[in-house]
Amino acid sequence: MLLRADWSKIHEAEGFHLYTLPLACMAFLYGIGVRARYYAIKNKGKKLPGFVLSIGNITAGGTGKTPATIMFGLWAKSQGYNVAILSRGYGGKYQKDAEIVSDGKDILLPPEISGDEPWLIANALRGIPVIVSRTRYLAGLKAKKYFGSNFFILDDGFQHISLKRDMDIILADAKRPFGNGHLLPWGPLREPLSGLKRADAVLLTRSGSLHSIEPGNPFLNKPVFTGDHAPDKIIFPFNGKEFDLSYLSAKRVIAFSGIARPESFKENLFNLGADVVSFRVFGDHCPFSKKDIEKLMKEKETLGGELIITTEKDWARIMEIAVDIDSLAFLKINFIMTSGKDALYKMIKEKADSVLD
């Protein structure tokens, strides 16, 4: 029963429920394991030959690390740093210790091998190599050897403490950054909140109109900045057509998503004026099948939908099985800073220059 549960709702729920006791017990054991792992490898992290910036979070999924990593990668390249993105490649089927997803010119691995997030980053960051490895240190060494990289960005790296970093930026959802405040699986926390001590800065995502946070904030008085995920355009990948956001207004759409917080995608569609006649939710990082696509196509015909729309991350997982469906589109999202952009970039640059000088 719990395997089919809506974990996003469980991780937000307060009070006592039927599932509270078993999940609390599991969270207690998980906490013991997290603390034991931390103290076992504390101060034993390896150092890469360059500046290491980690983009991560303290909760499970849904804070938008991928578009934020892309934003920081573009900025670092614009500053003249020799950048490489290092990722675990969650869900990828690569076999070697470290694999090159992109050499900065060409994408060398499909998303099912690299993992959907590294592939998306590689697709967005032409000119910047992307390396996957379950040991990010090995990925960094490969980036140094083949591309001469000296500015390493860890995608989802906060808990990867076996690699030393020079700066840690934590992403947190502005509306409710810690959910119900409990450890996995009872709540969304990957580790106790005391882990925030390792962070150098906090970036609140999906902040909307929030542009500041009062002193004495729950992030242990770390510098706090705000950002948001802004819809950019509608892309039909199989016929190459692109439209501005007004295209969705009053369009009857069949929507689906397999991301950590699908409700954010649904909210975007409503805000853009789409007539969402069906919205199907799949599990995060869901391995879609041809049967799933066929069902969506049939639903489009039955309900009179004008197009099928999904997220860019979901499209990366279906691109090989949904070939030549002209009515399939994805909503492209960009990450934008809404407060403190210059201050945050200055903070990163000063640290990077002090390491690289």
pLDDT, tens only, 38-62:
999 988 899 999 999 999 999 997 7
Contact assessment for residue 171 and residue 59, using Cβ atoms and an 8 Å cutoff: no
Contact assessment for residue 165 and residue 154, using Cβ atoms and an 8 Å cutoff: yes
Residue labelled with tokens 């039909």: 236
User: What is the model's pTM?
Assistant: 0.92
Judge whether residue 275 has pLDDT over 80.
yes
Length of the chain: 357
Please compute the mean of the pLDDT values over residues 160-165 and round it to a whole number: 96
Q: What is the pLDDT of residue 210?
A: 59
Judge whether residue 285 has pLDDT over 90.
no
Q: What is the pLDDT of residue 9?
A: 81
**Quick one: tokens of 113?**
């091998």
165: buried, middle or exposed (CB in 10 Å: 19+, 13-18, 0-12)? buried
SS3 (DSSP) at 108: coil
Q: What is the pLDDT of residue 182?
A: 95
In the predicted model, what is the mean pLDDT of the chain? Answer: 92
Span of 12-16, 30-34, 216-220, 330-334 with lowest mean pLDDT: 216-220
Confidence of residue 3 (pLDDT cuts 50, 70, 90): very low
User: DSSP letter at 208?
Assistant: T
Cα(11)–Cα(9) distance, integer angstroms: 5
Judge whether residue 11 has pLDDT over 90.
no
**Quick one: tokens of 336?**
């934008």
Q: C-alpha distances in angstroms, 260 versus 34, 63, 167?
A: 22, 9, 26
Angle, in degrees to the nearest 10, between helices 65-78 and 116-124: 30
Confidence of residue 256 (pLDDT cuts 50, 70, 90): very high
Q: What is the pLDDT of residue 43?
A: 85
**Quick one: tokens of 247?**
């295209």
Contact assessment for residue 58 and residue 172, using Cβ atoms and an 8 Å cutoff: yes
Span of 139-148, 168-177, 201-210 with lowest mean pLDDT: 201-210
Beta bridge partners of 317: none
> Above pLDDT 70, what percent of the chain?
96
Q: Which of 20, 117, 102 is nearest to 63 (CA)?
A: 117
Q: Beta strand 241-243 with 224-236: parallel, antiparallel or unpaired?
A: antiparallel
